[in-house]
Each structure stands twice: as structure tokens, then as C-alpha cells.
Amino acid sequence: MKAYNVLIRYRLPLAIILLIAGIFVNYSAGFWPAFTLYLIAAILVFGYFFFGPLRLIQEYMEEGDLDGAEKILNSIKFPELLYKPIRSVYYTLKGNIAMSKKDFDTAEVFMKKGLSLGMPVKEAEGASMLQMGILSLQKGNNKEGESYIRQAIKKGLPDKENEAAAYLQMCSIMMNKREFRAAKDFFRKAKACKPTTPQIVDQMKQIEKYISRMPG
């Protein structure tokens, strides 16, 4: 796996080396002896522009190294050449990083680009819509935020932590709208997910202090 990651990281320089070698062999021995070198070089160049280096981002994201992930993303100079599902992931990741920097306007632009291209799986699309909903709420656009979060729940989310986060956001929205019965219903759904993420657990504890006093 590490060898494959090295190949992804250095495939463009390797393609250039193979192309030069192919030209040399072509000059000295003819086209057919050089054909294999040309072919491999072409495959590497195609992979560089069509698939990009997004596989390399996984290790950085798992380690929480957003700076390292951002460097990989910034190395992609022609994102429009990426395969459409990969381009969608590229823009979504750009949006996630912008959100982590509290650059909500930039995050919104990238997240919308990612969603417009379609996500590889429905759960990923749901997660992106949840992020768009949270982003809209942070910007004070409660109506749009609610719409995105409802769509996220409908599309499906990748795990119970995301489901709990979505239900808690809906609970808060319903509380602000004074729709207390709906707020309690969403809170019960969030609790049933049994989340373990500290931030979500803390948010549930804060809401629980008030929800038992609500009418309905």
C-alpha cells in the first residue's frame, strides 16, 4: 500500500523520466522497443490528471493533519480534469477545510460545487448536506439550514454519530421555532443513536437541561 502511495505521489516525474527514456530508445532502436515506455508514461499522466492524488489525503485526515491534506489538495492544478465523482470529493474536502478555518463563505462555495456534481454514494451526499445545513445555520440562514438538514436525514447518513448530529440540529431549530413536540421527538431520535463523540454528547446534556421543562 505504501509503495502504491509513493507511485501516486511521484507518478508525474516518473512519467516524464519514462517519456525521455522512450524517446532515447525510439531514437536508438526504433518505435516498437520504445512503445512500452510510451504506454506506461501515458497511463501515469492520465492517472495524474484524471484521478489525482486524493488517495494520499486519507492518511492525513485520519491523523487530523488538515495542513497536510490541504497541501495535497493545493497540488491539484486542474481540478476540472478530475473524474466527476473524484472532483465532487475534491470540492467537498476543500469545503471541509475552509469550514475548519471558519471561512464560511469559501466553504459554502466549495460545498455547493461538490453537491452539484453528485456524490459517489447517497450517505456521502447526506453528510455533505448536513454540513451545508450546519454552515447555513452558522451564517444565520435558518430556513436554508433546516431544508439542508431535512434532506440529509432523508438521503441517509453514514453513521449514528452523523444521525445524532442531524437530529440535534433539528431539535435546536424546533426549539427556536417553539415547536416543542417536534423538538422532543428529534431529541429522542438523537438519544436513540447513542452517540459517543464528546461534542455531541455535551450538546445533548445541555439540551436535556431544558427539554424536560418544555410543554407538549
**144: its cell numbers:** 436554508
Confidence at residue 1, expressed as pLDDT on a 0 to 100 scale: 62
Average pLDDT over residues 27-41: 95
pTM of the model as a whole: 0.83
Query: Hey, what's the torsion of the CAs at 63, 66, 72, 76, to 10 degrees?
Result: 140
Count of the separate structural domains present in the chain = 3
Shared-domain flag, residues 1 and 29: yes
- Does 203 reside within a domain? yes
pLDDT of residue 106: 94
Residue 79 resides in a domain: yes
Mean pLDDT, range 120-133, rounded to an integer = 86
One domain for residues 65 and 130: yes
Mean pLDDT of 201-208: 92
Q: Tell me, what's the pLDDT at 87?
A: 95
pLDDT category at 214 given cuts 50, 70, 90 is confident
The pLDDT score that the predictor gives to residue 213 is: 81
Name the pLDDT band for 20 (thresholds 50, 70, 90): very high
**Distance between CA atoms of 188 and 56, rounded to whole angstroms?**
39
pLDDT at 3: 81
34 alpha carbon, distance to own chain's centre: 41
Sign of the dihedral through C-alpha 194, 195, 198, 203: negative
CA nearest to 190, candidates 131, 202, 128? 202
Are 38 and 95 within one domain? no
> Taking a C-beta distance cutoff of 8 angstroms, is the pair 98, 65 a contact?
no
Q: What is the CATH number of the domain that holds 127?
A: 1.25.40
pLDDT band with cut points at 50, 70 and 90 for residue 66? confident
* 142 domain-assigned: no
Residue 130 has pLDDT above 70, yes or no: yes
The pLDDT value given to residue 119 = 76
Q: Quick: pLDDT tens for 176-198.
A: 999 999 999 999 999 999 999 99
In 101-197, which residue ranges form alpha helices assigned H by DSSP?
104-117, 122-138, 142-155, 160-176, 180-192
Same domain, 174 and 129: no
Give the residue numbers spanning the domain of 36.
1-50
Q: How many CA atoms lie within 13 A of 20 on its CB side?
A: 5
